[in-house]
Amino acid sequence: MQVLLADEYGFCFGVERAVEMVEDAIAAGDTVRSLGPLIHNEQEMDRLSTEGVATISEPVQIGRGETAVIRAHGVTPDVQRELEDKASKVVDATCPFVTRVQKLAARAAAEDRHVVVVGSPDHPEMIGVKGYAPNHAFVIRDETEVSGLPRLRRPLVVSQTTIKAKTFFDTAEAVRSHTDDEVQVVNTICSATRDRQDAARALAGMVDAFYIIGGRHSSNSVKLLAVCKEQCKKSFLIETEDEIDAADLVGVERVGVTAGASTPDWLIQKIVAHLRSLSPKEAPPLKP
Ligand code: SF4
């Protein structure tokens, strides 16, 4: 049985950078506290917790002498200031692609322009971006919500980094029809999610079974599963190798593997090695 990895899989640039920054802080002897889970992967969070990383939910929980970590989603300027006041050190692991959206929003607000951000209002990244344009930003999910916006002053339209391009451009068009003012549209979608989906789609048509390694609560992993299932019915979302049922591999010659943007490489390699060790040519004995 051949085990084939998709061309793009696993940690995106921003998540990899955040984990490396945390590891550097641990190596420096810091007591590390992440504001919110650093990544959506239970196994990697378990590994980091054995290295002493704990998760806090509010800045007030930071103790003197501790190092606070801002994860890749970023935070509002108010939260950042609170962390800087309380912690002995702040590791700002905000993904540079998210920082770009924050800066664009802040600049537009400083020019007294409105900012329309296309994304999920309750997503931490959106809460952070909104904080950079107080009283000027509106976070909306899609074009159907544009009619509910007030009259917009020279709006800037940007996006959550992980949304679909079609949703963004349809919403930008709806904003253009909603105002007579000049509209500035800046596509701030990050390509990491799309690249992983394109690579999975390309491989899914060539294999008999597909394993997507990722957390069940990781939305990009769930989307990868849907993409793979379009072409490969035997597609499974798994968190560990224990979830692989050898019966699913009977008669399978080629297995595809991909992983969500929060899945660490050590876990991917462990599961790939396990798949390669399986010998599915014969049916496994029936369970009693
Ligand atoms: S998905 Fe893109 S924007 Fe989000 S953390 Fe990863 S690289 Fe950064």
Question: What pLDDT shows up at residue 283?
Answer: 46
Pinpoint the alpha helices (H) of the chain. Answer: 13-27, 42-50, 77-86, 96-110, 124-131, 165-178, 192-204, 219-229, 265-277
- State the total domains in the chain: 3
Low-confidence ranges of the chain (pLDDT < 70): 279-288
Same-domain status, 82 and 149: no
Tell which of 185, 208, 224 closes a domain: 185
Which residue range(s) make up the domain with 272? 2-9+192-277
Q: Which two tokens stand for residue 5?
A: 């990895």
In a domain, 236, yes or no: yes
In a domain, 226, yes or no: yes
Same-domain status, 269 and 207: yes
Question: What pLDDT shows up at residue 106?
Answer: 98
Question: What pLDDT shows up at residue 261?
Answer: 93
Question: What pLDDT shows up at residue 164?
Answer: 86
CATH number assigned to the domain comprising residue 175: 3.40.1010.20
Choice from 190, 193, 196, 220 to test ligand 1 binding pocket (greatest atom count within 8 A of CB): 190
Pinpoint the alpha helices (H) of 2-69. Answer: 13-27, 42-50
Choice from 9, 11, 13 to test ligand 1 binding pocket (greatest atom count within 8 A of CB): 13
CATH number assigned to the domain comprising residue 68: 3.40.50.11270
Give me the torsion for CA of 221, 223, 229, 231, rounded to 10°: -110
Q: Which atom of ligand 1 is nearest to the CA of 97?
A: 3
In a domain, 284, yes or no: no
CA of 282 to the centre of ligand 1 (A): 42
Tell which of 60, 92, 124 closes a domain: 92
